[in-house]
Chains A and B, each alone.
Chain A
Amino acid sequence: MTGLSEPVAAVAAHALPSRAKPPQRPLDAAEWAATRDTVRSERLWGLLAAAVVDGAFPVTPQQTEEVVREHADAMAAVLSLERILLQLDQDFYAAGICYVVLKGPSLAHTAYPDPSARCYGDIDVLVHRDDLDRTVALLQRAGCTRPYPEIRPGFDRRFGKSVTLIRPDGVELDLHRTFVAGRFGLSVDLDGLFTTSVGLSIGGRTLPIMGSEERLLAACYHAAVGDADPRLMTLRDIAQMVLWGEMDVDRVEGLAERWRARAVLARGLQLAWDRLELMPRPPLVERSAAYRPTAAESRAVASYTVGRSSTAQTLSALGVVSGWRDKVAFLAAVLVPGRGYLDRHGPDPRRYVHWWRRGLRSLRRAVFPT
């Protein structure tokens, strides 16, 4: 999100101590249209509805109607997603699949006093790497399709970030092995996420979610090195958890240290506080702001953000892949992807040549930056 407008920032930071001020009077048609479009793309209807109900964001009767309609639609959508999640939980339980719920549902029900403030549009779960292949197979048997083939057999389970599946009803399921691709995703203690998981009661079932400290760190991964332009909802999640969540901040920092993610934590917190114009800074944010990443960490973060280079990410990831056998397997998969992966848009022998040329150009840029 670049060039964040004041009304959007005020919505994203509603009820938080922020310098972003909502408008004094209802927005005119053009301002409203721009704000509404961003609210929609950033899934901020829950926060806008809360701001309208609280009288903090003045709207015209027509705009109120729009908020009522859009929020009800968004809530109907999340209820449908939660129903799918309950079915998944039942299926995973029956198949003995070890998993935790990520993002939307787990945050809506834990970080916010009212889950209707937190909208989401898909389902993300973190599956234990040993169960990933059979989870994909289970869901494919149930009719899900996989739009992007695996880069090479076994890559997802060993090094991948996630597998995206599309259900027959069009709902996207993201089966994560870890939070993000590359170096930062490979150094997370994934086994630990399952041993410290806790239960979340939804619809008569108890779903596994990560512990509160892990949830904050996961949100920081998504904000800091996930999307090139972090979602406002993710930044709000971070602020919400830091300001109102019950967590052990020493444990947050300890986990970040163990996961080699101090730079990720620092950047995630900084992005949240800067973009949402929050003040003052709690001790965790203050300490993180003082953190000075190493040169290697800075390069690794830059590979996800500035210019976003998959080659630079790969080179950086090699440093945390343990053992020569795994390093070779990782590099081989990235350099020589399977035919099925390259032919996902239809067979074309020239794709291998293009892949190599593009890879070499990118490698040259990463190793010899101008």
Chain B
Amino acid sequence: MAATSAALPPGPVGSWVRSPDVLWRWSLDRVLLLPPESEGPFVLTGPGAALWDLLEAPMSTEALIVELANLYDVDRDTVQAEVVPLLAELTERGGLRLLP
């Protein structure tokens, strides 16, 4: 595993949690989310579903990156480049919250 690079900006500081008012279900290897403001459910697959699974307990951005990098056996820079925008999008869509 490659060490964390300083090339990418760090993710937001705090602990990520699943939004308590989001409705969700596993469907085999994917997860369907229905946040309050969403018109219909949207689906997370692959690393997105793995991220949701990891967030059964609150986790920092750094801890998520480490876990996903280990899980998929890829370097942390690659994971960080994917995960930080995903976290932002999930927050924007009402699926996640960042606790200080």
Binding site for B on A (CB under 8 A): 49, 52-53, 67-68, 71-72, 75-76, 78-80, 82-83, 86, 114-116, 202-205
Contact = CB atoms under 8 A, between A and B. Distances in A.
Given A72-B43, A203-B36, A79 B21 contact: no
Task: Report the contact-size class of chain B (Cβ under 8 Å from the partner).
Answer: 10 to 19
Lowest 5 CB-CB distances: which A-B pairs, in order? A204-B21, A79-B34, A75-B25, A204-B20, A72-B27
B36 A49 contact: no
25 contacts: A49-B28, A52-B28, A67-B28, A68-B28, A72-B27, A72-B28, A72-B43, A75-B26, A75-B32, A79-B24, A79-B32, A79-B34, A80-B34, A80-B41, A82-B23, A82-B34, A83-B34, A83-B36, A86-B23, A115-B25, A116-B25, A202-B23, A203-B21, A203-B23, A204-B20
Contacts of B32: 72, 75-76, 79
B45 to A, nearest CB: 11
Contacts of B26: 75, 114, 116
Given A82-B23, A203-B22, A204-B21, A76 B28 contact: no
Contact of A53 (B24, B28, B34): B28
Nearest to B33: A79
Interface in B13-57: 19-28, 30, 32, 34, 36, 40-41, 43
A207 to B, nearest CB: 12
Contacts of A75: 25-27, 32, 41
A203 B32 CA distance: 14
A71 B27 contact: yes
Most A CB within 10 A of own CB, among B22, B24, B28, B43: B28
B30 A83 contact: no
B41 A76 contact: yes
Contacts of A71: 27-28
A239 B64 CA distance: 39
Interface of B: 19-28, 30, 32, 34, 36, 40-41, 43
A52 B28 CA distance: 9
Most A CB within 10 A of own CB, among B22, B25, B32: B25
A64 to B, nearest CB: 9
Contacts of B24: 79
Contacts of B43: 72
B48 to A, nearest CB: 15
A80 B62 CA distance: 34
Most B CB within 10 A of own CB, among A72, A82, A114: A72
Contacts of B40: 76, 80
Nearest to A78: B25
Given A72-B43, A76-B32, A49 B23 contact: no
A79 B41 contact: yes
Contacts of A205: 21
A53 B29 CA distance: 9
B41 to A, nearest CB: 5
A49 to B, nearest CB: 6
Most A CB within 10 A of own CB, among B21, B23, B24, B41: B23
Contacts of A114: 26
A131 B36 CA distance: 28
A49 B21 contact: no
Contacts of A53: 28
Contacts of A83: 23, 34, 36
A240 B23 CA distance: 23
B87 to A, nearest CB: 20
A58 to B, nearest CB: 16
Nearest to A73: B27
